Chain A
Amino acid sequence: MSPKDASTVELVLPGKAEFLLVARLATSGVGLRAGLTVDDIDDLKVAVAEACTNVINHAFDDSIPESERRILLSLSIGKNEMTVEVEDEGVGFDPNALERSQRDGLDGQGGLGFGLMRELTDSLRVESAPGSGTRVIMVKRATR
């Protein structure tokens, strides 16, 4: 996680499903500060939880001890928008494989979560490579 300015909240969450609620609550709180509507926040909560669920389900193999399975969550308030980064230090993957999955539609293997993230945000970028972790960057603009 790179250093951020004073309008950014950074959290380190254990990579366990019981902490998904914490990610959603943080998204709600910062979303309100960013001026997002309730509907915007509902959308972003799902997108953030999908990214975190992907980390929990796919980022870590047996070589990574449980104590090192972490989700790095960064929530930044911008001008009429909010940027969320979900980062892990896990096994990574080839983003081109994700593109192929997306071409199969929302029902494509592993595509449903990313499909929802894409539909529920205004911008989605995935940075990853095998062996070097993953960073998902999402932007949600206020619709008021």
Chain B
Amino acid sequence: MKIRAEQLDERMAVSHVAGELDAYTAPDLRDALEAHLQQGTAWIIADLTSLTYLDSTGLGILVGTAKKCRQAGGDLAVACNRKNLLRIFQISGTHEILNVVETVEAARERLEALRAQREERTDGEATS
């Protein structure tokens, strides 16, 4: 499995993941996603468009990271367009909570929309 990090802006980053994600390779993904959080980036995209295999160990890493992102005021989105992987997200019921969409661009739009919603909510609370 290969992972490449990309910083999109000061608050949003992507981990581009290629290969197979199982119990052997999952620690590498956990470390890569954790590195974004350590650097203060809480809006994270997991780009799985070049990933060919995923199971419950990988799902566990993604769900755990999504939780940490939310605790830090951000969120996680997954870009995935492979039928066999989408089936795993659907069956496990993680499709919604992981914000799974087909492309990195769509994932970025999803996170930017969530960010705008939260900022609007915060502004509303501040003025009320």
Contacts and interface: CB of A to CB of B under 8 A. Distances in A.
B56 A53 contact: yes
A-B complex: 8 closest residue pairs judged by Cβ atoms: A17-B24, A42-B84, A17-B23, A112-B56, A113-B56, A119-B91, A53-B23, A20-B22
Interface stretch (A43-51, A70-78, A131-139): A43-51
Contacts of A39: 83-84
Contacts of B54: 46
The contact size tier of chain A is 20 to 34
A113 B22 CA distance: 12
A39 B88 CA distance: 12
B92 interface: yes
Interface in A86-128: 105-107, 112-113, 115-116, 119-120
B5 interface: no
9 contacts: A43-B84, A46-B54, A50-B56, A53-B57, A57-B23, A112-B56, A112-B60, A119-B91, A120-B91
B18 interface: no
Contacts of B53: 24, 45-46
Interface residues of B, number: 18
Interface of B: 20, 22-24, 53-57, 59-60, 83-84, 87-88, 91-93
Nearest to B20: A21
A116 B22 contact: no
Contact of B59 (A42, A43, A105, A112): A112
A5 interface: no
Nearest to B24: A17
Contact of B56 (A18, A24, A56, A116): A116
